[in-house]
Amino acid sequence: MLESTCRAVFTRFAAINPYPKTELLYTSNFELLIAVMLSAQATDKSVNLATRELFRLAPTPEAMLTLGVGGVESSIQRIGLYKTKARHVLATCEQLITLHHSTVPGDRDALEALPGVGRKTANVVLNTAFGLPVMAVDTHIFRVANRTGMGPGKNVKQVEQALMKIIPNEYLQHAHHWLILHGRYTCTARKPQCEACLIADLCQWLDKVIPVK
């Protein structure tokens, strides 16, 4: 995709949704970090259902430790991989308390050193909590980037690099959420809504289906 075409894509996204937001529910950077950790291979909806109870009981790292593994597991058991995630959440809370004064660090190395926090989670937190122009490539963004031709790549690292290179600076901060929302509601995996797609004329996917006008 040409850079000018990419710019046109984001101009349209920005026009209809100037300030896109994550659909995860949270009230602090700590809650955001935990919600993103729990969202791996789970829907935002299922995470929100679980964290409503979890964050009521444990809105801080200290309170989370008090809940213990049994308490955390019982709040998040509707989420896949909940036993592993519960252990990671508690180990992360311990590190936040001992190394970061119970706050969420705003740099990549410190975030990625937390148990259960990989590059994608770190990028979401850096982008959503700290406003940094970074790109967390999840399954939706991977699909949209490849289909549209905006960020072709065989793995998330390649797609992340391609997107960071082509997306104009002024759109980078919100690009993550625009692309996720587009993938979640329009450019869906099984039945992309090409006929209703805002960027259909700019998309390079050969299999797109657009009615002739």
Q: Which of residues 137-166 bind ligand SF4 (CB under 6 A)?
A: 147-148
Give the residue with the Cβ less far from ligand SF4, 13 or 26: 13
Give the residue with the Cβ less far from ligand SF4, 98 or 193: 193
Respond yes or no: is residue 120 known to be catalytic.
yes
Give the residue with the Cβ less far from ligand SF4, 12 or 108: 12
Catalytic residue among 138, 157, 191, 208, which?
138
Contact range with ligand SF4 by CB under 6 A, out of 25-33, 123-131, 172-180, 194-202: 194-202
Give the residue with the Cβ less far from ligand SF4, 120 or 147: 147
Q: Is 197 in the site for ligand SF4 (CB under 6 A)?
A: yes
Half-sphere exposure of 197 (CA within 13 A, CB side): 28
Contact range with ligand SF4 by CB under 6 A, out of 67-75, 102-110, 153-161, 184-192: 184-192
Q: Is 199 in the site for ligand SF4 (CB under 6 A)?
A: yes
- The secondary structure of the chain as a DSSP string is --HHHHHHHHHHHHHH-SS---SS--SSHHHHHHHHHHTTTS-HHHHHHHHHHHHHH-SSHHHHHHHHHHHHHHHHTTSTTHHHHHHHHHHHHHHHHHHHTTS---SHHHHHTSTT--HHHHHHHHHHTT--------HHHHHHHHHHTSS--SSHHHHHHHHHHHS-HHHHHHHHHHHHHHHHHTS-SSS--GGG-TTTTT---TT------
Q: Is 12 in the site for ligand SF4 (CB under 6 A)?
A: no
Contact range with ligand SF4 by CB under 6 A, out of 87-95, 133-141, 165-173, 188-196: 188-196
Which chain residues interact with ligand SF4 by CB under 6 A? Answer: 147-148, 186-187, 192-194, 197, 199-200, 203, 205, 208
